[in-house]
Amino acid sequence: MRGLARLIEQVGKAAYNLGYTPGLNPAQWAALRYFDEATLERRTVTGFAQFQGTTKGTASQTVAALVRKGYLRRVGDKQDRRVHRLVITDEGKNLLRIDPLQDLSKALEALEQEERWGLAVSMEKVLRQLMRAG
């Protein structure tokens, strides 16, 4: 089991390291992906923090950097002035076209569909177990 755990750790590190690209770090890539896929109601700093399992302060720093870089913009909620939604700008959408996570997706394409399905089911079980333990 230890060998398998190390292998999973190495895959995780390799995938994480793909996120170090000029101008962005892995947390910023994760935020861009989140705001691209989240429902409008969840496109807030708090929603991102909950999704990432991090503090609101850490999430806020990541979001602020993406706003400064022009990849996200804040939009006030018309019904609740205290809430600001985060929307990906055209520059952010263009950046997502070269998302380094695509390299991992391409590597997974080398697996047969049945192998991918088995891997997905197994990894989800492992993740759930780890979340319960943590």
All domains of the chain in start order, with CATH: 1-18+100-134 (no CATH), 20-98 (1.10.10.10)
Residue (of 55, 53, 56, 51) closest to 39 by Cα position:
51
85 membership: H or E segment, kind and range:
strand 84-88
At 72, is the pLDDT very low, low, confident or very high (cuts 50, 70, 90)?
Answer: very high
Check pLDDT > 80 for residue 134: no
DSSP H or E run through 46: helix 45-52
Tens digits of per-residue pLDDT, 87-111?
Answer: 999 999 999 999 988 888 999 999 9
Closest CA to 14 of 27, 29, 1, 26: 26
- pLDDT tens track for 5-60: 999 999 989 988 888 887 899 999 999 999 999 999 899 999 999 999 999 999 99
